[in-house]
Structure 1
Amino acid sequence: MIIDQLILGKKTPKSKFDTDKKSERPIRSIAKAVSWRVIGTLDTLLISYVLTGEVAIAASIASIDFVTKMFLYFFHERIWNKINWGK
């Protein structure tokens, strides 16, 4: 093992993410959560504005929606990442 590293230039894995390609780093889940929430929040903002006709109310609804659903999505992703079904 040490000889392989010296002769072949193999590096020891730094974390389980380097060897387990079925898993993803939490930072990736965060980036996915934020990007999805931007899309979802724009949708919520538009729908809220169409229904209420008030920009301030629509912005309030969209901002609350952005924060709560981002956290829900992040934990949803992390739980699903631990489930091996379908991988």
Structure 2
Amino acid sequence: METRTRSLVKSVLWTVLGICVMALIGFVFTGSLRTGGAMALINAGIGFVSYLLYERLWANIAWGRDV
């Protein structure tokens, strides 16, 4: 089973990558760094929590693992 610390670190790194990508997309579509950054932060918060819960759920499912 994956440790909680590993899940947390993976979630943080995924969130940082998501913030960068979303900020760039937001800037391209709006022309505003402020709006693009706000969009990125909101998306990152939602994505962080969703991904962390998703990873923890799958960490408890034995299906498909070599035991």
Could you tell me the TM-score, scaled by structure 2's length?
A: 0.92
| Rg (Cα) greater in structure | 1
**How far apart are the structure 1 equivalents of 2:3 and 2:60?**
12
- Matched with 1:85 is 63
Q: Unaligned regions of 5+ residues in structure 2, if any?
A: none
**How far apart are the structure 2 equivalents of 1:54 and 1:40?**
18
Q: Answer yes or no: is 1:26 the counterpart of 2:43.
A: no
Report 1 or 2 for greater relative contact order, CA contacts < 8 Å, sequence distance ≥ 6.
2
Q: Answer yes or no: is 1:63 the counterpart of 2:48.
A: no
Q: Answer yes or no: is 1:53 the counterpart of 2:31.
A: yes
Number of equivalent positions:
65
Q: Which runs of 4+ in 1 moved over 2 A?
A: none
Aligned-residue sequence identity (percent) comes to 34
Q: C-alpha deviations, 1:14-34, integer Å up to 9, x for none?
A: xxxxxxxxx011111000000
Q: Unaligned regions of 5+ residues in structure 1, if any?
A: 1-22
C-alpha displacement at 1:86, in angstroms? 1.4
Could you tell me the TM-score, scaled by structure 1's length?
A: 0.72
